[in-house]
A and B are shown apart, each in its own frame.
Chain A
Amino acid sequence: MMTTAALVTPSAARGVVPVPITLPTSKDEEWRFTPLGGLNAFAFQLSERPGTLGGADLTPYRFGHPEWPTVVVVDGRVDLAASHFPALPAGTRLCSLAQAIAEGDTTVAAHLRQHVTPAATPFTALNASLSVDGVFFHVPAGVACSTPVHVIHVATSASAGVTIAPRTLAVIEQGATATLIESFVALDRNGSYFTDACAELVLGENARLEHIRVQRESAAAHHIGFTQVDQQRDSHYRSFVLQLGGKLARHNLHARLNASNIETLLYGLYLTSGEQLVDNHTAIFHNEPHCNSWEVYKGVLTDASRAVFNGKVFVEPVAQKTDAKQTNRNLLLSDTAKVDTKPQLEIFADDVRCTHGATVGKLDELQRYYLQTRGIAGQTAQALLIWAFVAEVMMEITVEPVRAALEATVRERLDRMIA
């Protein structure tokens, strides 16, 4: 087993010497529709040092709330000057992961790399080899951390041609509640770099976590993220994943339902244009009875862009009374956009309700005609109908003003996609 100490080996060379990696190929079922050849352009090492931020660089990404607890991670290292650590409820900890390890935090020791193991994928292994820092968020039992915590991962020109390997560990203990927002942003909108991110989210009994993950990497960036959620009984996890950026972006979101009466809600939206490829892989492991999972991912694609969706649901023999529903819907705005969608349900219990549905299509002709008869046509009608399509998931963002801000971002992006 890896020890947590490995994260901060006292060696100046750690992270900044290239690490060998064997990239998966299209023969690997997990990567069948997501060609990784573009990754060969990057060195699998961190930048020598993180870039520097200007005072207002992150203003557009703070949702108008600079006073929220905010950890800014620049090129994979926490930038204390740009971060903001207001007082949190008693016992709650939000800090640099490297700092927590250095201080010998026992919660970190108990959880780090136990949920996203290096062995999981070649990229979790790479992250384990390279990462020198990240974010630690710990809400102790019974504590309600009502203010959203925002983690902003920033790529600067210092990471041009190399890898960014941040790591997030959030432990929400028994009966505690929290909201975690992760943003991935780039200072240079054309910057070319590779983000290899891992997040471990641990929910104790009766814990509640709202999680919003906004991926707005640069147009030339590659992004591969792995998020593992581990839930104990009566806990509630709700996720909203927005994928906007990247030349190639892949996110694995895996949730393990390790006890009964767990609720897991996964919502996602991806908007792709140009030659982007956005890949969402989700996996929900129903390991115990009486749990509910609900998943809706939607995508809007134009130009020659591509999307991949794979949704696995595993229902173990003991997991009776499982109620699982999965939906993936895609809207194609061009003839050259393409979607590979695959629901994958493996059910070994007999008293369950599990459904799935996947669609790939164009705008609804009846809706379009209805709008025409009300005098609404052309781009106005198109924008309205695309919004109608994405609204189902956008309305699931429960944190204001994040919802309003992301609505504006999504509308603006959609307007550009149909212009």
Chain B
Amino acid sequence: MALLDIRDLHASVADIEILKGISLTVNAGEVHAIMGPNGSGKSTLAQVLAGHPAYEVTSGTATLDGADLLDMEAEERAHAGVFLAFQYPVEIPGVTNAYFLRIAYNEIRKARGLDELDPMDFLDLLEEKLKVVEWGPEIMERAVNFGFSGGEKKRNEILQMAVLEPKLAILDETDSGLDIDALRIVAAGVNKLRSAEKAIIVVTHYQRLLDFIIPDYVHVLAGGRIVKSGGKELALELEAKGYEWLTGATEEVTAR
């Protein structure tokens, strides 16, 4: 069974249809890159999978391990193993990173019928996970994303992903706005989390990230549809030719 199975997914926000029939199958162990011009629906797809309440799925299905993903609340999707690294991570003042991560980790464990990890054991776990993003412990006493630079926020998303160990991680433009050092750290963090049991969907506007995270499959989204799929060589082709040769056919859609 596929880990994630999306069939003919249509979704709207404020009565405007953004996704116009997406079908995509992602198996455990795979890394899929979703590329496309601005406004193509990439971020919408990421948010719809994570359960953003502002997006309305009008038809189609999406299952995770065969379970109906679209029927779940956002937190239930997290409990089931979905993780979205936000394009714009949200600031939570007054709540330390350490506390936030422990609560999240334990809420997910509780939902799966597992015992909560006590604070000391959790600290040990955190210490390991901090290495994934090459951070020292001081970051854990700062409030979640509060006063973080853009690069720090993205790194923090990867740290959260490392701690929560999702089955399906969706990275929504995690590379946008990163300098090359931050990009290297973020990409290395993602690569450390690749495994045969997990799948990663990398949503990106730029081919650059895919020099660091080598995808198994590349899909081009335009006008709310996947207009081309291929292997990692497709990313290079996009780099050389741009999106126009693919999006021309759907011009009436992208012109919105």
Given contacts A375-B79, A380-B103, contact A394 B94 (CB under 8 A): yes
B111 at the A/B interface (Cβ < 8 Å)?
Answer: yes
Is B78's CB under 8 angstroms from A373's CB?
Answer: yes
**Of all chain A residues, which has the CB nearest B79?**
A375
Complex Cα spacing A38 to B195, Å: 68
Q: Which of A138-153 contact B (CB under 8 A)?
A: none
A-B contact count (CB 8 A): 77
State how many angstroms separate the Cβ of A296 from the closest Cβ of chain B. Answer: 12
Docked complex Cα distance between A390 and B93 (Å) = 9
Distance of A369 Cα from B74 Cα, bound (Å): 7
A373 touches B92 (CB 8 A): no
Q: Does B164 contact A (CB under 8 A)?
A: yes
Contacts of A373 in B (CB 8 A): 50-51, 74-75, 77-78, 82-84, 86
In the complex, residue of chain A having the shortest beta-carbon distance to the beta carbon of B89: A370
| Chain B residues, CB < 8 A from A380 | 103, 107
Contact residues of A between 15 and 51, Cβ < 8 Å to B: none
Is the beta-carbon distance between B52 and A369 smaller than 8 angstroms?
Answer: yes
Tell me the smallest distance from the CB of A219 to a CB of chain B, in Å: 28
| A403 → B minimal CB distance (Å) | 13
| B82 CB contacts on chain A under 8 angstroms | 373
| Residues of chain A lying within 8 A (CB to CB) of residue B100 | 374, 384
Q: What are 29 A-to-B residue pairs whose CB atoms are below 8 Å? A: A369-B52, A369-B53, A369-B74, A369-B90, A371-B75, A372-B73, A372-B74, A372-B75, A373-B75, A373-B82, A373-B86, A374-B100, A374-B104, A374-B107, A374-B164, A375-B78, A375-B107, A375-B164, A380-B107, A381-B75, A384-B103, A385-B92, A387-B94, A388-B93, A391-B93, A391-B94, A391-B143, A392-B94, A395-B94
Asked if residues B95 and A384 are in contact (CB atoms below 8 Å), the reply is yes
Q: For the complex formed, measure the closest distance between the CB of A28 and the CB atoms of chain B, giving whole angstroms.
A: 38
Contacts of B94 in A (CB 8 A): 387-392, 394-395
Asked if A377 contacts B73 (CB within 8 A), the reply is yes
B40 at the interface (CB under 8 A from A): no
Q: A374-B160, A375-B79, A377-B73 are in contact. Are A384 and B92 (CB under 8 A)?
A: yes
* Residue interface mask B153-178, A partner, CB < 8 A = 1: 00000001000100000000000000
Complex formed: what's the CA distance from A67 to B111 in Å?
Answer: 47
CA distance in complex: A404, B66 (Å): 48
Is residue B108 contacting chain A, with contact meaning CB distance below 8 A?
yes
Complex alpha-carbon distance, A136 and B194, angstroms: 68
How many residues of chain B get a CB closer than 8 Å to chain A's CBs?
A: 29
User: Using Cβ atoms and an 8 Å threshold, which residues of chain A touch B108?
Assistant: 375
Candidate in A373, A381, A389, A392 with the most chain B CB atoms within 10 angstroms: A373
In the assembled complex, how far is the CB of residue A323 from the closest CB belonging to chain B, in whole angstroms? 22
A388 neighbours in B (Cβ, 8 Å)? 92-95, 143
Cβ–Cβ contact A367 & B92, under 8 A = yes
A90 within 8 A of B: no
A12 at the binding interface (Cβ < 8 Å): no
- Residues 61-88 of A at the B interface (beta carbon under 8 Å): none
Nearest Cβ distance between residue A86 and chain B, in whole angstroms? 35
Q: How far is the CB of A148 from chain B (nearest CB, A)?
A: 24
Chain B residues lying within 8 Å of A371, measured Cβ to Cβ, are 75, 92, 104
Interface status of A376 (Cβ within 8 A of chain B): yes
A385 to B100, CA, bound (A): 11
A366 at the interface (CB under 8 A from B): yes
Complex CA distance for A370 and B74, rounded to whole angstroms: 9
Minimum CB–CB distance from A407 to chain B (whole Å) comes to 10
Q: How far is the CA of A389 from the CA of B160 in the complex (A)?
A: 22
Q: Which residues of A contact B74 (CB under 8 A)?
A: 369, 372-373, 377
Tell me which residues from 282 to 311 in chain A have a Cβ below 8 Å from any Cβ of chain B: none
Residues of A contacting B160 with CB < 8 Å? 374
User: Cα distance A394–B53 when bound, in Å?
Assistant: 32
Question: In the complex the two chains form, is A377's CB within 8 Å of B75's CB?
Answer: yes
Contact of A370 among B86, B93, B111, B143 (CB under 8 A): B86
Q: How far is the CA of A376 from the CA of B164 in the complex (A)?
A: 12
Cα–Cα distance between A135 and B89 once the two chains are bound (Å): 51
Chain A: minimal CB distance from B3 (Å): 18
Cα-based distance from A82 to B141 in the complex (angstroms): 40
Q: Which of B37-78 contact A (CB under 8 A)?
A: 50-53, 73-75, 77-78
> Which of B53, B90, B104 interacts with A375 by CB under 8 Å?
B104
Contacts of A366 in B (CB 8 A): 90
Q: How far is the CA of A140 from the CA of B79 in the complex (A)?
A: 62
Closest CB-CB distance, A183 to chain B, in whole Å?
Answer: 24
Type the 1/0 row for A347-387, where 1 means its CB is closer than 8 Å to any CB of B: 00000000000000000011101111111110011001101
A381 to B83, CA, bound (A): 17
| Residues of chain A lying within 8 A (CB to CB) of residue B78 | 372-375
Residues of B within 8 A of A392 (CB): 93-94
Q: Within the complex, what minimum Cβ distance (angstroms) separates A237 from chain B?
A: 24
Cα–Cα distance between A371 and B86 once the two chains are bound (Å): 12
Which B residues, 129 to 185, have Cβ-Cβ distances below 8 Å to chain A?
143, 160, 164
Does B90 contact A376, Cβ atoms closer than 8 Å? no
